[in-house]
Structure 1
């Protein structure tokens, strides 16, 4: 919901002749920018990027933040952000993003060779420049939206005469042909149009089990559950406090998590703590000694 408000704030700011935006929407947009900056700084600690990425995040525009925040909202994780910043081709199962990412006064129509099966007259490819995305290019797919960041902007197909950037863009294309990697603003990515990064694929299809299969599966799950009950202090306590008696164990396998619950924003990324331990907390823990549970339950133990 916060991303939607922040994007609305950005759109309002870019409307021709629009009045000054509401301070509350400005604060929401700034929170989104701060969140995206932190995501980029985290991935920059462990990933290999061209120099200047962290410095560029200080000039992150609201439009750039809205696009990256939308990708995160559709399942992008911090480790995957590396490929996005390095020019990875991203497919999103969200056709509405095509219009959301067309910012008045900032976006411009562009020609590209991506997704030629789409009617470019109806859905032209849209470019946008920024300090972090350099040249953002996005367009429609049959089922959603695609987006890709490029190192060098180009004016092919426009009314402008070819420039030095166009020559550099051709050089990036040569690098792509040699390395089979997209040339992004901050590195190279193997996530090309033929092998894209796919966000929010709808792969969960409910399937019913036949009664014999469900019965055998339930028996197997119960055996696994009984053998895996090692969380108690002792076998005696485990027998006294059995796990909940669930009738349909097989049915639970088909239940999906609500919303977008899953591995989360950080996925398989390396997470570490930069703060030093609190001395006062350590002193409190040392002073408060509580006898372990096993000692309390043994015969002759403290009453």
Structure 2
């Protein structure tokens, strides 16, 4: 069993420290929770969910906020949050998340049928309950971590007699078999283990080029650079400041952008403007179209 995680913004009783450090951790915790709450409120305006999601988000725990925030840091966008909250099966190409989501006092071992190729004795599936996630279940994959939210927690195994929650969990399984959709805490999702939602996929595979192809590629890139060397200054001044002479321009191909580069949090959202044009801006535009008075200088280029 992995060592469980203590949150970096743990309280003074969980991690001793001075008052300034405790205040900083509390401020960070509030910032993370507020950001996740905002994401949930935004997606709740456009998506169809079971009742009570916004109210549950107001009671979001630090552990729940950490999980959803980690998913967002790995590329989760607001429209994809709908599938996560509705029980979508998520694969993240980051094995470290399996350890990061082991929390003191709230995480517990769980039995599941997901990813049977993984040694469950070495990497047992882990459950956690919360107001938003209801029952979070996560485990290891060969290359990373998987996570899925469930509507009803279950505690099968051992000699324990089935409980009411176990029977409800079986009912959710029947719904899954009939609809081919996971039953999450706030709805149904077609993102199952066979058709999961991928985050941060590792798709780049280094491949070497043969010398003739590499030479031709380098020549082509240099020709494109020379043709694209357009500046806003005169040609004689531009010649004094040539672009950097890189020995191999092909070496930059395929490099990923640093940091949070990409489509962003709302990359797949349908964004449009519903506001009417500004009255003052419209007045200025109308005045600019008035013909110049006789004898005045023509400042605009005739069309």
Q: Which category of TM-score, normalised to the shorter sequence, fits these structures?
A: 0.7 to 0.9
Please give the alpha-carbon distance, in whole angstroms, between the structure 1 residues aligned to 2:274 and 2:171: 41
- 5+ unaligned residues in a row in structure 1: which ranges? 1-5
Aligned-pair distance for 1:288? 10
Quick check: 64-73 or 200-209, which moved more? 200-209
Structure 1 or 2, whichever has the larger Rg, is 2
Aligned-pair distance for 1:72? 0.8
Q: Structure 2 matches for 1:79-158, cutoff 5 A? A: 79-157=79-157
Question: How many pairs does the alignment contain?
Answer: 285
1:158/1:289 CA distance change after superposition, 3 Å: farther
**What corresponds to 2:180 in structure 1?**
180
Q: Structure 2 matches for 1:147-296, cutoff 5 A? A: 147-157=147-157, 160-207=160-207, 209=209, 253-271=253-271, 282=281
Note the aligned Cα RMSD (angstroms). Answer: 4.3
1:8/1:17 CA distance change after superposition, 3 Å: closer
**What corresponds to 1:39 in structure 2?**
39
**Is 1:66 aligned to residue 66 of structure 2?**
yes
Aligned-pair distance for 1:215? 7.3
Aligned-pair distance for 1:253? 4.2
1:19/1:277 CA distance change after superposition, 3 Å: farther
Q: Normalising by structure 2, what TM-score?
A: 0.75
1:297/1:34 CA distance change after superposition, 3 Å: same
Quick check: 217-226 or 166-175, which moved more? 217-226
1:120/1:70 CA distance change after superposition, 3 Å: same
**What corresponds to 1:3 in structure 2?**
none
Quick check: 83-92 or 265-274, which moved more? 265-274
Aligned-pair distance for 1:61? 0.9
Aligned-pair distance for 1:17? 9.5
Q: Does the aligned pair in 2 maintain the 1:110–1:155 contact within 8 Å?
A: yes
Please give the alpha-carbon distance, in whole angstroms, between the structure 2 residues aligned to 1:35 and 1:275: 26
**What corresponds to 2:295 in structure 1?**
none
Q: Does the aligned pair in 1 maintain the 2:12–2:22 contact within 8 Å?
A: no
Q: Normalising by structure 1, what TM-score?
A: 0.75
